[in-house]
Amino acid sequence: MYVEVGPASLVITGEKDGEAHAFLREEVEDLVAGILRNIRECLPVLRQKACKIRNVSALPEVAKRMTAAVRMIDETTLTPMAAVAGTVADMIKEHFAAQGLDLLMVNNGGDLSIFNAAGRTLTVGIGDIMTGNATPYVIRLTDTRDLGMATSGFGGRSLTLGIADTVTAIAGSGAVADAAATYICNHATVAADAVKRVAAVLIDPETDIPDEEVTVEVGPLTDALVTEALVKALKTADTLTDRNIIDYAVMALKGIIVTTDTSNKSKNITLEVQDGNQKDRHHR
């Protein structure tokens, strides 16, 4: 089912007892509208850096989750809005999982929350944010029952401080994956004439990061600059995996793909190439 409610564009699919589940549109729309209303009511709080939010007890559940997710990643640089799409996806997933569905995937504008009761093998494609097309790469998930997957990048629907084409993060929830993808992408950056930045408020007067310099143009880059940006992103992602905050991350820039290491962790996440003739280069 495809649903648009306010800024949320959702694709929800599910199965129950091996059969495709028919969602009631009115139930989905009412659920999403209620979550978004709660977010709107506390936007002034949610647009602050998480470290400045001292007491969340009076906030609605969605706001508490958004704040908790970014605090896990980096409360000094992120606002709770960095986790908004993933948190909304999580709450929709949990609502319908409680109705006994066996498989449920909520895609909120590219940020996913997945419930997979049987732990069946799932394959999720990685898209190109700039073109909207699929890339040759897919992530295969084996024996994974509850997770979130989110993608950030220059050219996406949100502003970024970095230059990565895509950063995809996998974590135990959509909220944490969303915040992690944002954070890693912010660190995929270099100082170069080809990279243009302006204050975020000039792009979006309602942004939660008005004073940050966000990327507005990425021109041709030397191999050395591409490597520098990806090394920074990978170091950031490795730190999050070492802290057991995320399970995996894939970062792409100018045809180069790098991933975090799973050799000493779970073997249930792998990056695979669907087209053997693809030109991208993949590195650990």
DSSP assignments along 217-244, one per residue: EE----HHHHHHHHHHHHHHHHHHHHTT
Q: How many CB atoms lie within 10 A of CB 278?
A: 14
What is each CA distance from 194 to 118, 142, 240, in whole angstroms?
48, 40, 29
Q: At what angle do helices 61-74 and 25-41 cross, to 10 degrees?
A: 60
pLDDT score, position 279? 45
Of all helices (H) and strands (E), which one includes residue 2?
strand 2-5
Is the distance from CB of 267 to CB of 243 less than 8 angstroms? no
pLDDT averages per 10-residue partition of the chain, 284 residues:
91 93 95 97 96 94 98 97 97 95 94 93 81 80 92 87 95 97 97 95 93 94 96 97 95 92 69 62 53
| Domains of the chain in sequence order | 2-283 (3.10.520.10)
d(CA 50, CA 64): 11
Q: What is the pLDDT of residue 151?
A: 93
pLDDT at 266: 55
Report the alpha-carbon distance of residue 51 to residue 67 in Å, rounded.
9
Sheet with 134-141, strands from edge to edge, namely 122-127, 134-141, 269-273
pLDDT of residue 262: 65
What is the pLDDT at residue 280?
47
